[in-house]
Amino acid sequence: MIQAQLEVRNELGIHARVANRISSCCQGFSSRIEAESGTAFMDLKSVLNVMILNVKYGEKLTVAIEGEDENEAFESLKELFDNKFGEK
């Protein structure tokens, strides 16, 4: 299992466009991909979950990825966050 922190670095934070990209990216892998929210873990393949996490600019998201393609999934997700989801 991979556990890591990803920082939201685009100015607008998570919004509908970004949530589309994050959940679509996660849906491309068979691994379980979840994010910590308070005491619970939420499935990031759900676009509504990604929105509800309510992560703002500069905040960090703790993700847990487990499955056969966990390395590839983490790399893709990290790239998406590092590129600010293609925004400013």
Residue ranges that bind other proteins, judged by CB under 8 A: 15-17, 19-20, 23-24, 43, 45-49, 51-52, 54, 56
CB of 4 or CB of 48, closer to other proteins: 48
Q: Which of 3, 11, 15, 27 is catalytic?
A: 15
Closest CA to 73 of 17, 35, 16: 35
Q: What are phi and psi of 43, to 5 degrees?
A: -70, 120
Instruction: Evaluate whether 33 touches 44 at the Cβ level (below 8 Å).
Output: yes
For residue 15, indicate whether it is catalytic: yes
Quote the least distance from Cβ 18 to other proteins, whole Å: 10
Catalytic residue ranges: 15
